[in-house]
Amino acid sequence: MKPLTTVKPPVVTSRPGLTRPPTAEERRRAQRVLLRIAVVIHVVGRKPIEGHTHTCSANGALILLPEPLAEGTKVMIENTKSQQTVEAKVLRPPQTNGEGSLVPVEFATPAPVFWNVFFPPFAN
């Protein structure tokens, strides 16, 4: 007589059938949307800088500005349409392109209603 073997049930994950590591998009805390919103960036000791967003999320944005801002710079972002402001900081050194500097900023605290858009849920 053969001994009985126990079969373990498969482990169920939130991403069934996916054995690769998650992509950068899958690791994000909040969904990003392409959205062009006029903003004014206020930095202590400098005149206000006008720009617009490239992408937005509930945690921050990628903002196109005519001049770069150094990593770690604390800023106040003003949404010119709603006239709301939120505190943020520059996450990484900006990338430059033909239009100006792409500056990644992160809000001091998440502000999902700051951009006045509904962010789609994650599909993970």
pLDDT, tens only, 1-49: 666 666 666 555 555 555 666 555 455 555 778 899 999 999 999 999 9
Domains of the chain: 30-107 (2.40.10.220)
What would the pLDDT profile of 28-41 be if each residue is shown by its tens digit? 555 778 899 999 99
What would the pLDDT profile of 61-109 be if each residue is shown by its tens digit? 999 999 999 999 999 999 999 999 999 999 999 999 888 999 999 999 9
pTM for the whole structure: 0.73
pLDDT mean over 45-63:
95
Contacts made by residues 105-113, CB under 8 angstroms, sequence distance 24+: 105/60, 105/61, 105/62, 105/63, 105/75, 105/77, 106/59, 106/60, 107/59, 107/60, 110/30, 110/58, 110/59, 111/58, 111/86, 112/30, 112/58
Cβ burial of 29 (10 Å; 0-12, 13-18, 19+) is exposed
Q: Are 41 and 86 in contact (CB under 8 A)?
A: no
